[in-house]
Structure 1
């Protein structure tokens, strides 16, 4: 069985959850609860570029708010 994340010529999407965490996800797979599409369908490489450009702070949003006293 082939892992869908390892298929380089497949279409992918970028998912984001409420904590602002990003995930590369195969476009053919069901989106897990708590996540939504923020980018794609696109190539694996394009999705990885999107993540690199848009996910600058890897801390969960709740931790960011807690450290800022909000």
Structure 2
């Protein structure tokens, strides 16, 4: 348990900034001068990646609430 806690704290406080673009998209968008399209596409990819996690988290929350109220 101690190793898991240390790993969690280490990964939480010492994260690296990463980009969510594939290599081909990044190469095409870096040639653009304004870089606004690259930032927009990067934000869109992160948004699309977050939706499944939010949905699964919501389902788990509702299941927890349903079975948590039955035990009382």
User: What TM-score does the superposition give when structure 1 sets the normalisation length?
Assistant: 0.29
Higher relative contact order (CA 8 A, sep 6+): 1
Larger Rg: 2
Higher fraction of helix: 2
Higher fraction of strand: 1
User: What TM-score does the superposition give when structure 2 sets the normalisation length?
Assistant: 0.28
